[in-house]
Amino acid sequence: MPLFLPLFKRLWRVLTPILLLLFAPMALAADPFGIPAISITTDADGTQNYSVTIQILFLMTALTLLPALLMMMTSFTRIIIVFAILRQALGLQQTPSNQILLGLTLFLTIFIMTPVFETVNEIALQPYLKSELQPLQAVQQAAGPFREFMLGQTRESDLSLFARIAHIDQLSDPKEVPFSILVPAFVTSELKTAFQIGFMIFIPFLVIDLVVASVLMAMGMMMMSPIIISLPFKIMLFVLVDGWAMVIGSLAASYGI
């Protein structure tokens, strides 16, 4: 690492003036009453130059929060945990792969959240695109369906826990619950529900492992791993009962679909 320090210092000396030259004119030329999304400069020869301002920089930075919003405010957390426990119960380390599980979880999340997305599109997005709502009003309108969805899946004990931590004595109206309390309470409830479903899935495969281990022990084959013998039986059982359809159907039904 010490060998790279001179190189890092040299790169920092070179990049710092460049960054200052790029962003200082944007900050100095910013309108105090609002920052335009794109500023267009016309040169003497008639050509135009486009420069991205600080507002776009902030917008691109805010986009990094989208993965966290997807995981923390939708059904994504419950589904991915159940799939991970299912793969562990089957004894399959890399099958299905993480990419397949994430893709399946993402599309199943979209399927479950479609009513919420449609409501947001109807009461917030379309009026905003038609200039009937201001940006802040559109955000407030869009928060309503998500709040209703999360409250329907959140336990009262979890809400009380985070309200007590935030020193809020009583929440008389669900609409008064701030997102700073609702989101962690919703995630906590999702984790508990996901592990409960995973426990119920794990039990049949655990029974197969115990039976196979007992048979091998009775036959004196103590050096053979029970996982090698039980894996085909667990896969056969999972296929015969149409396991994927049962798991996915149960997950969708747990959200009232």
Q: Which residues contact 124 (CB under 8 A, 6 or more apart)?
A: 133, 138, 139, 141, 142
Q: pLDDT value at position 130? A: 78
Query: At 163, which amino acid appears?
Result: A
Q: pLDDT value at position 43? A: 63
The tens place of each residue's pLDDT in the chain, 257 residues long, gives 444 444 444 544 544 444 443 444 444 444 444 445 556 666 666 665 555 555 566 667 767 777 777 788 888 989 999 999 998 888 887 788 888 888 889 899 889 888 888 888 888 878 877 777 777 777 788 888 888 888 888 888 888 888 888 887 776 666 677 888 888 889 999 999 999 998 998 888 888 888 888 887 787 777 777 777 778 888 888 888 888 888 888 888 888 77
Q: pLDDT value at position 14? A: 43
Q: pLDDT value at position 235? A: 86
**The residue to which tokens 């928060």 are assigned:** 143
Q: Report the alpha-carbon distance of residue 50 to residue 57 in Å, rounded.
A: 14
DSSP letter at 155? -
**The residue to which tokens 């869009």 are assigned:** 142
Q: pLDDT value at position 61? A: 72
Q: pLDDT value at position 192? A: 92
Q: Report the alpha-carbon distance of residue 35 to residue 23 in Å, rounded.
A: 14
